């Protein structure tokens, strides 16, 4: 049987790969940066191949490192889950859910009290992200994660939560006789509020709406839909919203949706987790509740 590398070397590699930083890995593992670097070098020496390229300002993974990471991550995660399950600490552990910030503020926050009422004994910790990225692994500190994308992340299970349409939204008093918003081409007279990271943005919507002559590059750009919606609410322009995230703002009259069409989008919010996470009964309870709640919301 081939000799396995020491576990501390594998942990140093896995943490360094997630952070793309020996320094951040050292902070996470309570080691020095030099110790982490030495452990990774030891692993590379035993394997006979480089896992990282050392750059003047950081590190990046080699092809071998990228291929090895999912296997190492899964092994560490399975070991942690099995240890918790066998030695009885799993029910005492805080359930950590890492969630897209806009999804939390616009969708999840108002619904969480229902879960707390059903499961008052489960301690929840909510951590936020802006973009989940295309990583094939979830945050090692999170049991579950809510991401935006197409639902395909290698090695992870994904449960679809939303089926959105794209719709322009703005403050109720933004349209005027001088600057109407009755047709898509009227957007030429308004500030467009863009959100970075979405594949289907203003350019996509304007083409589909027959208003390709409107300059889709103009306007303000934000790194999260939260900021764009706030700017729209304040009358600073027109944001392209995802329907599930603006239902309450439309119902309350904070925003209006004056333009058609409302286009279906292929992108969605997904509940993402390792198949091994579901061994945790607290995680399973949250998954079951969230999927059922999302199904009801879509209905």
**Hunting for tokens 């452990």 — which residue is that?**
39
Rounded-to-integer distance, Cα 126 and Cα 239, Å: 27
Is the per-residue pLDDT at 136 higher than 50?
Answer: no
Confidence of residue 88 (pLDDT cuts 50, 70, 90): low
Q: Taking each helix axis from N to C terminus, what angle separates 225-233 and 243-252, rounded to the nearest 10 degrees?
A: 20
Confidence of residue 155 (pLDDT cuts 50, 70, 90): confident
Is the per-residue pLDDT at 241 higher than 80?
Answer: yes
Burial class (CB in 10 A: 0-12, 13-18, 19+), 15: buried
CATH 3.40.190.10 fits 90-163+267-298, yes or no: yes
Is the per-residue pLDDT at 90 higher than 70?
Answer: no
Confidence of residue 221 (pLDDT cuts 50, 70, 90): very high
Topology classification of domain 165-264: D-Maltodextrin-Binding Protein; domain 2 (3.40.190)
Range 221-244 average pLDDT = 95
Topology classification of domain 7-86: Arc Repressor Mutant, subunit A (1.10.10)
For CATH 3.40.190.10, the residue range(s) in the chain are 90-163+267-298, 165-264
Residue 61 vs residue 275, higher pLDDT = 61
Q: Beta partners for 54?
A: 59
Range 158-165 average pLDDT = 95
Other beta carbons within 10 angstroms of residue 286's beta carbon come to: 21
> pLDDT tens, 165-199?
999 999 999 999 999 999 999 999 999 999 988 88
Q: Please state, rounded to an integer, the average pLDDT across all residues of the chain.
A: 89
Rounded-to-integer distance, Cα 122 and Cα 94, Å: 7
Is the per-residue pLDDT at 280 higher than 80?
Answer: no
Other beta carbons within 10 angstroms of residue 170's beta carbon come to: 26
> pLDDT tens, 62-84?
999 999 999 999 999 888 877 77
Q: Does the predicted TM-score (pTM) go above 0.75?
A: no
For CATH 1.10.10.10, the residue range(s) in the chain are 7-86
> pLDDT tens, 203-214?
999 999 999 999
> pLDDT tens, 27-46?
989 999 999 999 999 999 99
Task: Tell me what pLDDT residue 299 has.
Answer: 80
Task: Tell me what pLDDT residue 135 has.
Answer: 47
Is the per-residue pLDDT at 48 higher than 80?
Answer: yes
Task: Tell me what pLDDT residue 137 has.
Answer: 46
């Amino acid at each position: 049987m081939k000799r396995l590398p020491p576990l501390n070397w594998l942990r140093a590699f896995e943490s360094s790969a997630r952070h793309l930083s020996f320094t951040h890995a050292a902070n996470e593992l309570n080691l020095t940066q030099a110790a982490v670097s030495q452990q990774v070098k030891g692993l590379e020496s035993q394997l006979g191949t480089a896992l990282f390229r050392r750059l003047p300002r950081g590190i990046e993974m080699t092809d071998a490192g990228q291929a090895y990471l999912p296997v190492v991550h899964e092994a560490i995660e399975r070991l942690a889950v099995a240890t918790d399950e066998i030695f009885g600490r799993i029910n005492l552990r805080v359930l950590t859910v890492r969630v897209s910030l806009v999804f939390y503020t616009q969708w999840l926050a108002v619904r969480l009290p229902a879960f707390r009422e059903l499961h008052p004994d489960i301690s929840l910790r909510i951590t936020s992200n802006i973009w989940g990225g295309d990583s094939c692994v979830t945050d090692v500190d999170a049991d579950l994660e809510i991401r935006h994308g197409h639902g395909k992340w290698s090695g992870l299970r994904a449960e679809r939560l939303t089926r959105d349409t794209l719709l322009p939204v703005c403050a109720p008093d933004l349209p005027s006789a001088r600057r109407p918003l009755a047709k898509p081409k009227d957007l030429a007279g308004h500030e467009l509020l863009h959100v970075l990271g979405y594949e289907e943005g203003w350019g996509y919507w304007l083409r589909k709406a027959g208003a390709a002559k409107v300059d889709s590059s103009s306007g303000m750009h934000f790194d999260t839909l939260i900021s764009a919606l706030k700017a729209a609410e304040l009358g600073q322009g027109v944001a392209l919203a995802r329907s599930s995230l603006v239902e309450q703002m439309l119902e309350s009259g904070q925003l209006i949706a004056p333009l058609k069409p409302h286009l279906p989008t292929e992108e969605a919010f997904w509940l993402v987790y390792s198949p091994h996470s579901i061994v945790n009964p607290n995680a399973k309870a949250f998954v079951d509740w969230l999927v059922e709640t999302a199904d009801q919301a879509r209905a």
